Every structure is written in C-alpha cells, then in structure tokens.
Amino acid sequence: MTEALVRLRSWAVPADNQTQAPASVAPANASPPAQEVPAPPSGRLGRYDRSIVEGPIGRAVWRLSWPTILQNAMGGLQGIVDHAMVGNFVGYTANAAIGVSWQIFLVIIVFMGSLFTGMAVLVARYAGANEPEKVNRAVYQAFLVAFALAVLVLAPLGYFLSPWLLGLVNAAPEVRAQALPYIRTLFIFGFGLLFFYMLGAALRSAGDARTPLKFGIAITILNVIFNVIFIRGAGPIPAMGTLGAAIGTVLATTLVGIFAIRMLLTERLVVGFPKGDRRPDWTMIRSLFRFGLPAGIQGVAMNIAGLLLLRFIGSLPESAAAQAAYAVGYTELFSMITWTSVGLMGAAAAAAGQNLGAGRPERSVEAVRKAAFGGLMIAACVGTLFVLIPEKLLWAFGLTDPEVTRLGSELLGYLAFSGFFISVALTYTGGLQGTGDTRSPLYITIVSQIVVPLGTCALLQSSGHLTSRGIWTAIVLGHVTRATLSVVRFRQKKWMQIRV
C-alpha cells in the first residue's frame, strides 16, 4: 500500500546528466562518489529525531515500525469488521463482493498513491539532511496533486467504469449485485482514504510513526461505529449491507482527514504546509513523479495481477465459494502477516533513506536486515495459527459453508509457508524504495507477481488441470521469486549512488 510529485527546481540536487530516469545510478564498478551531505553533529538537531541516523539502528527500526505495525493492524481491523459483519448479516456473497471491490479499487488508488512514494523518498532524504523547508514543500505539493486526481479522475472514471471492472474479474451475478454500490461509493468519496495514506507516508519518512497510529486508531473506532449503524441498521436508518460498509469507511476517513489537514496548517506535526506561496510547483511535481511513477506502475501491476488471479478463481466450478475463501483468507487473514511486514517495510524505507541522506549507507543496510528478521518472526507465529486452527479463523468471518471452509483452510495452509517469503520481500522492497531505487521493485514485481503466478495458472488452465490448489501454488511461487530477487538486488548496493 501502499504506495509522488512536487517541488521547486532550486531545491533539488541536480540529477546525473547521463540519464533522465527516476534516479541516476552509477555503473556497478564505479567508486562511491564524494559525500554531498555532511553528517550532522550528534544529538537532537532541529525538528527531526536524529537518533535514526546516529543511535543504535535496531532500536531506531523498532521505534519506527511498532506504531506502523499497530496502525496497520488497526486499519486491517476495519476490513475484518466489514467482512465479519456482512458475512454474518448478508452472507458469503457479500464477503466476495467486498474482496473483489477492494482488489479493483486498489489498482487505481495504488497508482495514484505513487506520488506518495516519490514524496517519501524526498522527505526521508531531506529529513536526514535536516532541511525542513524542503520537507514541507514536498508534502504540500503531493497533497495538491492527490486532491486534483481524486476529484477530477478517480471519482468520475471510477463511477462509470465500475460495472465493466466487475465483469473483468468474472464476479458472479450475485456478487456483482452486492459489489457495485460498494465500489462506487469508494471511488466517489475516496479522497479521505487517499489523504490518510499520504499523511502516513510523510510522517513516517520524517521519523514520526506514532502520529499516524493515533489517526489510524481514530479511523478504526469511527469505522466500527458507522459499520454497526449502517450495515445492520439502527433506529430510523435501514440496514444497508455492503453499501453500509462502504459508507462507514468513507465517513471515518473523511472526518479524520479534515482534522489532520487543520493540524498541517497550524504546524502541529513534524511535517506541515509551507507558508507563503502555495501554488503548484511543477518542477518538484515532476521530480516526485520521477521517483514515484515506477512504484505506481509496480502497484498497478501487482493489483492487475490480483484481478487476473481473481479471473482464474472465477473460472473454477466453485467460483463464488473460492472467491469468498480468497477474499477472507488472502486479503484479510494473510494481512496479519502483511500488517507487520508493511510496517517493517515503512521503517526500513525511512531508516534507509534518512541514513543515506545523512551519508551513512552502512546503517541503511543494517536497518533492512533488522527489519527482515522481525518480519520472519511474526510470519512464523501467524503461520502456525493458519496450520493449527484454520476453521476457527474462517468461522470468525461467518464462513461456515462446508465448501468455503474447505477451500479457505486449504489456502491458509499454503499461505503459512508463503508468509516467510513475503515478509522478506516487503522489507527489502522498503530498503530499495526508501533509498530511491523505485525501478528495481517494478521489474521484480513484473516477474514475480505477473509472469510467475499468472503464467503458472495459464499453463494449468490450458492443460485442463486448473484447480484451487494449482492457484494457491502459483501464489506461493510468486512470493518466493519476489523475495529472492529483492534480496539479490538490494545486496548489489547500486542504490548507494542514487541522487535526488
């Protein structure tokens, strides 16, 4: 998720004139360039926490990651509440509807969120070099572009294309009926959610992981309250089912987003909006897109792969049951592993980027290693639950249909193994993106999330042997490939020559 644009030419470090790529990388055999940013003196300097670039790196990674992990868990709780309530009050077709809708919605929002990756790269570098004015400019320009895209692109196109997109993933008719009002609501009123992603990325890159946690808790509490009201109905408000789940999500994120914007304007956060000239800065916007666009294309590729995977699942004889099992098993229960891994990914990106900006690349390497080890420990614990009590985990979401339970338990067995590899893949992806290498994760994604799993499914389908187990195996093979390629690329250390 997660997950680029904006700034004045006069602030940017000139790019290497040999390339117009998102970042200029010197040949592998080149000697390291002279350090452009002097290391700051020890102690706390300015508004940023200098312990990220000076103190024990393991402790810094932990301070950055635990609030994000908890925030992701709280955010994931929103999805769990949605699925649990609609599963019990509407049925498993509603679970499939929400899962399919989010898979489609994420294709769009992840691409738009690419500007946040570019913003995060610049914020981490500028914070590491202790340049708050540049940090605030980058954040503000990202906000301007996100708002324009949400209002002018996301809302109108999403509304009109939703029926076609649902048909693209082979959603069963009963699933499509539940999904259409849900996904249209997300598209039209999705700016609050988009803004929340942007603010979290900015704060974490600047070294503040606790404030996004507070916002996440507020959103989750409001979301649960609104879901209880709108999904099952309360007083004069009728039961709205899946539409009520969408209303709860957009109301919660919009209300907290309005409060967060006020804090940015009054300089109550470690990042803020600059004073004075607040016009679009096209030079910085282009700079952020150069870093963010590869990450956006990567996110789109991953989610398109997810849509095509849903298409293969939809071609199975037991399509509705399989899509419900996938929606709960992969997008919800497996997120107990990815909550941690994405949190550690953000910590690795912030620590690696800030230390590179401060002229300490060796600490960037150590930060990513520490993050990966933490991810493996969590994956082992959650994977054990997947193996020992899969039926109970599925039962919590209202999945009691025998066919859905069989398919869901089967999937969780595969994901218990796959969790180790996705944890490593995500943390090393964070290290690459945080240091400015946003292109390598794109190429790795194309191979590991498109070529390997979809190619495997296509081969099985063409031979007449496509089954649920074949699809689950393809998912695992993709994660193994992604982890392997990410580690190899990061260890080549070409990111050490990247300039912003």
Query: Which CA distances in Å does 292 have to 23, 288, 368, 442?
Result: 11, 6, 20, 11
Most confident region among 158-172, 173-187, 188-202, 411-425 by mean pLDDT: 411-425
Average the pLDDT over 120-135 and give the result: 84
pLDDT bucket at 76, cuts 50 / 70 / 90: low
Query: Which CA distances in Å does 410 have to 181, 401, 438?
Result: 31, 14, 35
Q: Residue 330 and residue 32: Cα distance in Å, rounded?
A: 42
Q: Residue 236 and residue 486: Cα distance in Å, rounded?
A: 53
Quick one: DSSP state of residue 16? Answer: P
Sign of CA dihedral 360, 365, 370, 372: positive
Contact by Cβ (8 Å): 239, 174: no
The pLDDT assigned to 19 comes to 29
Phi-psi category of residue 110: left, alpha or beta, with phi > 0 → left and psi -120 to 50 → alpha = alpha
The pLDDT assigned to 45 comes to 39
Which of 85-94, 190-199, 411-420 has the lowest average pLDDT? 85-94
- Does 79 have pLDDT greater than 70? no
Query: Which CA distances in Å does 51 have to 259, 269, 406?
Result: 29, 18, 49
The pLDDT assigned to 75 comes to 64
Which of 79-83, 103-107, 159-163, 258-262 has the lowest average pLDDT? 79-83
The pLDDT assigned to 220 comes to 84
pLDDT bucket at 78, cuts 50 / 70 / 90: low
Which of 76-80, 130-134, 357-361, 435-439 has the lowest average pLDDT? 76-80
DSSP per position, 449-482: IIIHHHHHHHHHHHTT---HHHHHHHHHHHHHHH
Q: Residue 248 and residue 235: Cα distance in Å, rounded?
A: 16
pLDDT bucket at 33, cuts 50 / 70 / 90: very low
Average the pLDDT over 383-405 and give the result: 89
Work out the mean pLDDT of the chain and round it to a whole number.
Answer: 81
Q: Residue 382 and residue 76: Cα distance in Å, rounded?
A: 15
- Does 454 have pLDDT greater than 50? yes
Which of 71-75, 374-378, 470-474 has the lowest average pLDDT? 71-75
SS3 45: coil
Q: Any bridge partners for residue 237, and if so which?
A: 234
Q: Residue 71 and residue 282: Cα distance in Å, rounded?
A: 33
Closest CA to 476 of 402, 425, 430, 405: 425
- Does 309 have pLDDT greater than 90? no
Phi, psi for residue 124 in degrees, rounded to 5:
-65, -45
Most confident region among 77-81, 170-174, 238-242 by mean pLDDT: 238-242
The pLDDT assigned to 77 comes to 65
Please give the residue that has the higher pLDDT: either 450 or 110: 450
pLDDT bucket at 83, cuts 50 / 70 / 90: confident
Contact by Cβ (8 Å): 2, 342: yes
The pLDDT assigned to 37 comes to 39
Residues contacting 108, CB < 8 A, separation 6+: 154, 158, 187
Q: Residue 50 and residue 41: Cα distance in Å, rounded?
A: 9
Average the pLDDT over 243-264 and give the result: 89
% of the chain surpassing 70 pLDDT? 87
Contact by Cβ (8 Å): 281, 7: yes
The pLDDT assigned to 41 comes to 37
Q: Residue 370 and residue 353: Cα distance in Å, rounded?
A: 15
pLDDT bucket at 331, cuts 50 / 70 / 90: confident
Query: Which CA distances in Å does 165 have to 26, 180, 479?
Result: 42, 10, 26
Closest CA to 370 of 295, 436, 430: 430
Q: Residue 474 and residue 481: Cα distance in Å, rounded?
A: 11
Q: Which amino acid is at 239?
A: A
Q: Residue 42 and residue 482: Cα distance in Å, rounded?
A: 38
299-318 b/e with 16+ CB inside 10 Å = b? bbbbbbbbbbbbbbbbebee
